[in-house]
Structure 1
């Protein structure tokens, strides 16, 4: 099942470090089947408030997203982002193609 690395980036300081991060991240994704679904777009907020940028990267499964994040290639560039932005990053699994909202009730038992 697909899994996602989701980032909420705020206060990004554009400069040489962020440019280098952007130039290098694609090569870190390829070995793990990662691809950008959303990259820095400003959401059209219809409820609540939102500040910053949203990034969503899809991977074939949770094992691949974890392996990508821990990989030497990504760890080598991680500080380029974290030293120049405030961010929250998390991983989550997607749902099966025919998922229905009420499927979560089965997990509540």
Structure 2
């Protein structure tokens, strides 16, 4: 099942040289784990609800295990401080949904569990 690394980052007014170095080198840390960028600070973002002043980064992996192994790899951990020293934000690893997932089926199961309780 596909998994995702998602970051909500608050970029500094001016990108630090170490952040640029991080951006130039991150793909080499993703390649062994089959990670690929799906979103990388998209130039067009429309906030539909709430307040959101951050950049979004989403990287897809074939599995949660590969995403986890990438984040904790020596290569990425060595590179990571180049970003975290100059940008605030949050980062998550999240499992995707299985093929054929339907929100209505999940709601029905939750409703049944709530009724049974």
Return the offset for 1:46.
1.1
Match of 1:70 in 2: 72
RMSD: 1.4
Structure 1 residue aligned with 2:25:
24
Q: CA deviation at 1:102?
A: 2.1
The match for 2:61 is 59
Q: Which has the larger radius of gyration?
A: 2
C-alpha distance in structure 2 between counterparts of 1:70 and 1:76, whole Å: 10
Match of 1:87 in 2: 89
Q: Which runs of 5+ in 2 are unaligned?
A: none
- CA displacement, residues 64-83 of structure 1 (integer Å, 9 cap, x when unaligned): 01000000100011000100
The DSSP-based 3-state class of the residue aligned with 1:24 is helix
Task: State the number of aligned residues.
Answer: 109
User: How far off is 1:107 after superposition?
Assistant: 5.6
CA contact (8 A) 2:3 2:94 kept: yes
TM-score by length of 1: 0.92
Describe the SS at the equivalent of 1:102.
Answer: helix
Q: SS of the residue aligned with 2:45?
A: coil
Flag the 1:101–1:32 CA change in 2: closer, same or farther, 3 A. same
